[in-house]
Structure 1
Amino acid sequence: MSSNKEEMVNLQSLDSPKNGKGDPESSPVNASSEEDYNPHMHRQLAHATTNAETLVHLLKGSLGTGIMAMPQAFFNAGLISGTINTILIGVLCTYCLHVLVRSQYELCKRKRVPVLTYPESMKMALEVGPTCFRRFAPAAPIIIDVFMIVYQLGICCVYIVFVANNIKQICDAYMPELDIKLHMCILFLPLIGINCIRNLKLLAPFSTFANVITFVGMALILVYVLQDMKPVSELDMVGYLRNFPLFFGTTLFALEAVGVIIALENNMKTPASFGGYFGVLNIGMSVIIVLYVLMGALGYMRYGGDSKDSITLNLPQDEIMSQVVKVIFAIAIFISYGLQCYVPVELIWNTYIKKRVEGSEYKLVYEYILRVALVLATFILAIAIPRLSLFISLFGALCLSAMGIAFPAIMELCVAWPDKFGPYKWLLIKDVLLILFGLIGLVAGTYTSLVDIVKSFM
């Protein structure tokens, strides 16, 4: 489930080329010896992962709330359109991740450092790219950090809404109905408590537990989904064009895992095995795409136009097994909240605050204030917009269209500048098209989600 995703995102976001790995700012570009330097051979990892462990992390990291929203995504796109486009988006995401990993590897060779974070890589790429891009290099790390923080906090908002909705359905079966916002308020203090755990290792056992029960819950969901499916004739094969940006944002949110991918590759014992036609990335993403297509198609065939923001909300309210499923996912996602919020806390604290309060006797107090403030921010946003599907679509389109599609293409374009674009400058043309596609997805998906959010208040 997504707990491993958060741990790996933390590694990517916060680890820099230290511990004897070199300083990217002080390492000069040495073109003559560039080909002699292999970054993979210079990595010093205390706990490197094997290929099998990396594959497991990749699979677990992509099975979060996004897959639960796929039936409604298929409702927005239609059965055939949803199937085809989920595969196409999955292939596109996988390709862009390859582009990002290759570009970072090339930059590591040029700078002669073993590993680079995403913000560092983008800054260095812009510095060697077209002149018009170079002015943005100093701001690149901040831009990447902002997108990462917004995305991670967006996931936290999704988690609050998800947990509250599932708890509400369980409680409504045994007591008078309460407003969803009251259930969110009940969660507020527990969320602060789990986010105030400063040591990630203390959360690791809970993370493992969450992963195990998540797979159990998914198996139980399939028991319901495979019963009484609707005739195909009652389903839309192709959805309305107006709803496609919602499908795009939801699917991108579910499939794209840019932070996980970089962290996994950076922490592998044999990183050369990550890429390639039969590498860890392609194998893992192939399995993930199949799972998402199956959950989306089967869920839509079971519930049709009644598909809700999360498939767990379609399960019967008065059956013990369905209540067990909802309890399972509520617990798993609640645990994952602490891990998800750990990433922006550490990113904001280490990058922007810690150095300013280093000598203060209230340093620990400031850190806890930050932790509580971030929980409060996600809580207020979740209270204001308690629509799970719109949250998922909004943050998928807003953040991942940029981080997962447009930015990798920009990085590759800069790395290939000025004369490594291949015959007929096909690489330049391809990257420009990817940048345009990412920007269109960002604008259209964000606009459609915001419009529907506004309409939800009317």
Structure 2
Amino acid sequence: MKRGLETVHSELQSCQGTTFIRTLVNGVKTMSGVGILSVPYALAEVGWSGLILLLLMTVVCWHTELLLSNCMNAHPFIRTYSHIGKFAFGYKGKVLVSLFLYLELYLVAIEFLILEDDNLNKLFPNMSFKVGNLKIQGKCGFTLLAALVFLPTTWLNSLGLLAYISVSGVLASVILVLCVLWVGAADGVGFHERGKFLKWSGIPTALSFYAFCYCGHVIFPTLLPSTRDKKQFCKVLVSCFVLCTVNYASMAIIGYLMYGYTVKSPVTLNLPIRKVSSKIAIYTTMINPLTKYAIMISPIAMAIEGRFQHHKSKFINIFIRTLLVISTVGVAISVPFFGYLISLTGAFLSVTASLLLPCICYLKISKRYCEFGLQWLVIISILVAGSLVAVLGTYASLREIIDHM
């Protein structure tokens, strides 16, 4: 566990600037991901009150980020999320935190494959591939094709180039919202759906999706040491969350007004394929997985490679990373449900990493678990609410996955 997340964090951090603007860009880049494709579906699950829940999740995740930054300041050696776990609960704490973070990265990598598969299948329906005497139908073939494209990026010795390229994810998120808006305003879809204000049964699912959208806690602790003026970090956090929330809320409102309860996850599956704006949206969507898949897989691969450090070789590294890619392909083909997998990731892993663990670690490190006051009440409220979302959201997403298998 000594390698992996720490190595990738330091490598990505070396690519990050120290000014307010560059730190802000890296923060927004961290939270600008595929979650934006599912926010209309999340809003449809719970109704218009989901916008209030989105704002609530924004404030809660911002607060837990501040708790993590306070933990970072507790000791000079703390530079990553895993270090926080170790400082709070020793080696077992580090292993537990790392396990949740690795699982989250692994599932996100799988979701990237499913996303590519869904979009390619929409662009080229009923397409099949023939390898020798074996005929591979549609979505399964696209999953394999996407994996073959992603595979060489996982063999790179340095992620520096991908870290720079992945900044395009920020621009891609904005372009995606504008394209979906254009489809509704100019391509004949319109904004005619009204929907309901509240569906109680959809609250755990919606909160699971929103937690996934704000699951940047694994990277944000590394931005603090790289910030030139540590006093500005709070402003960076506020700016990141405001910008991302505006983007998420815009996509949620536009998609829900366009398609109502029929909106899909990802929303690109609803778009009329013959329109230029739709094709731009779909192709833009496919850029993000290409630049980030290796960044998700590399920490896991490095942790495994650390076990073979006495037999270190390029061949072993490539072999381990190839096996990891093959394993993600197997899961993506077996569970090809983008929305339900995001909901599961958000409920079980993102809620734990973004809400529960920051609160628990902060209480342990600060030794304030017996100091009753407003902050203690807020933290306990987050722990109780987060636990409920984790349990109910995980149950709901697993039930949906099983029902659709």
1:100 aligns with 2:68: yes
* Match for residue 183 of structure 2 among 208, 224, 246: 224
1:271 is aligned with what amino acid? K
1:305 aligns with 2:261: yes
1:207 is aligned with what amino acid? S
1:156 is matched with which residue?
109
* Match for residue 235 of structure 1 among 180, 195, 213: 195
1:257 and 1:211 map into 2 onto residues whose CA distance is: 14
CA RMSD across the alignment: 2.7
The answer (yes or no) to whether the contact 2:38–2:339 under 8 Å persists in 1 is yes
Residues 204 and 103 from structure 1, CA distance in 2 versus in 1: closer, same or farther, beyond 3 angstroms?
A: closer
2:153 is matched with which residue?
194
Residues 10 and 417 from structure 1, CA distance in 2 versus in 1: closer, same or farther, beyond 3 angstroms?
A: closer
Q: TM-score, normalised by structure 2?
A: 0.88
1:144 is matched with which residue?
97
2:36 and 2:106 map into 1 onto residues whose CA distance is: 19
1:114 and 1:49 map into 2 onto residues whose CA distance is: 19
Residues 157 and 175 from structure 1, CA distance in 2 versus in 1: closer, same or farther, beyond 3 angstroms?
A: closer
2:15 and 2:354 map into 1 onto residues whose CA distance is: 28
2:369 and 2:384 map into 1 onto residues whose CA distance is: 22
Following TM superposition, by how much is the alpha carbon of 1:384 offset from its aligned partner in structure 2, in angstroms?
0.9
1:103 is aligned with what amino acid? C
Q: Gaps (5+ residues) in structure 1?
A: 1-8, 17-43, 127-136
1:142 and 1:78 map into 2 onto residues whose CA distance is: 39
1:330 aligns with 2:286: yes
1:406 and 1:93 map into 2 onto residues whose CA distance is: 10
* Match for residue 57 of structure 2 among 89, 95, 104: 89
2:7 and 2:363 map into 1 onto residues whose CA distance is: 22
Following TM superposition, by how much is the alpha carbon of 1:425 offset from its aligned partner in structure 2, in angstroms?
4.1
Q: Deviations over 1:320-362 (max 9, x none)?
A: 331232122213322321222223223x14xxx42x43342x6
1:121-140 to 2 correspondence within 5 Å?
121-126=84-89, 137-140=90-93
2:51 and 2:308 map into 1 onto residues whose CA distance is: 51
Greater mean alpha carbon deviation, residues 428-437 or residues 399-408 = 428-437
1:142 and 1:396 map into 2 onto residues whose CA distance is: 20
1:431 is matched with which residue?
379
1:50-129 to 2 correspondence within 5 Å?
50-79=19-48, 81-105=49-73, 107-108=74-75, 113=76, 115-126=78-89
1:151 is aligned with what amino acid? E
Residues 138 and 194 from structure 1, CA distance in 2 versus in 1: closer, same or farther, beyond 3 angstroms?
A: closer
2:29 is aligned with what amino acid? K
Following TM superposition, by how much is the alpha carbon of 1:408 offset from its aligned partner in structure 2, in angstroms?
1.1
1:386 is aligned with what amino acid? P
Q: Deviations over 1:415-446 (max 9, x none)?
A: 2326872xx44444433332222222211111
2:325 and 2:137 map into 1 onto residues whose CA distance is: 22
2:400 is matched with which residue?
452
1:412 is aligned with what amino acid? Y
2:14 and 2:326 map into 1 onto residues whose CA distance is: 36
Residues 252 and 419 from structure 1, CA distance in 2 versus in 1: closer, same or farther, beyond 3 angstroms?
A: closer
2:178 and 2:369 map into 1 onto residues whose CA distance is: 52
1:46 and 1:337 map into 2 onto residues whose CA distance is: 18
1:213 and 1:248 map into 2 onto residues whose CA distance is: 24
Question: SS state of the match for residue 335, structure 1?
Answer: helix
Q: Deviations over 1:224-261 (max 9, x none)?
A: 134554446x412112x222221111111012310232
Q: Deviations over 1:195-244 (max 9, x none)?
A: 22222124345435555455434322221134554446x412112x2222
1:141 and 1:254 map into 2 onto residues whose CA distance is: 24
1:343 is matched with which residue?
299
Following TM superposition, by how much is the alpha carbon of 1:157 offset from its aligned partner in structure 2, in angstroms?
0.9
1:50 and 1:359 map into 2 onto residues whose CA distance is: 40
1:365-444 to 2 correspondence within 5 Å?
365-417=315-367, 421=371, 424-444=372-392
1:19 is matched with which residue?
none
Q: Deviations over 1:384-419 (max 9, x none)?
A: 111110111100111111111111111221123268
The answer (yes or no) to whether the contact 1:12–1:263 under 8 Å persists in 2 is no
Residues 155 and 440 from structure 1, CA distance in 2 versus in 1: closer, same or farther, beyond 3 angstroms?
A: same
Residues 122 and 70 from structure 1, CA distance in 2 versus in 1: closer, same or farther, beyond 3 angstroms?
A: same
1:291 aligns with 2:250: no
2:233 is aligned with what amino acid? F
1:31 is matched with which residue?
none
2:164 and 2:128 map into 1 onto residues whose CA distance is: 33
* Match for residue 249 of structure 1 among 174, 196, 208: 208
The answer (yes or no) to whether the contact 2:177–2:250 under 8 Å persists in 1 is no
The answer (yes or no) to whether the contact 1:167–1:327 under 8 Å persists in 2 is no
2:102 and 2:91 map into 1 onto residues whose CA distance is: 18
1:161 and 1:118 map into 2 onto residues whose CA distance is: 28
Following TM superposition, by how much is the alpha carbon of 1:188 offset from its aligned partner in structure 2, in angstroms?
2.7
Following TM superposition, by how much is the alpha carbon of 1:45 offset from its aligned partner in structure 2, in angstroms?
7.8
Residues 304 and 46 from structure 1, CA distance in 2 versus in 1: closer, same or farther, beyond 3 angstroms?
A: closer
Q: Gaps (5+ residues) in structure 2?
A: 130-135
In our comparison, the structure showing a higher alpha carbon Rg is: 1
- Aligned-pair identity in percent equals 20
* Match for residue 271 of structure 2 among 295, 315, 318: 315
Residues 69 and 152 from structure 1, CA distance in 2 versus in 1: closer, same or farther, beyond 3 angstroms?
A: same
1:419 and 1:291 map into 2 onto residues whose CA distance is: 36
Question: SS state of the match for residue 366, structure 1?
Answer: helix
Residues 45 and 391 from structure 1, CA distance in 2 versus in 1: closer, same or farther, beyond 3 angstroms?
A: closer
1:76 is aligned with what amino acid? E
Q: TM-score, normalised by structure 1?
A: 0.79
1:419 and 1:339 map into 2 onto residues whose CA distance is: 36
Aligned residues: 393
* Match for residue 269 of structure 1 among 215, 225, 228: 228
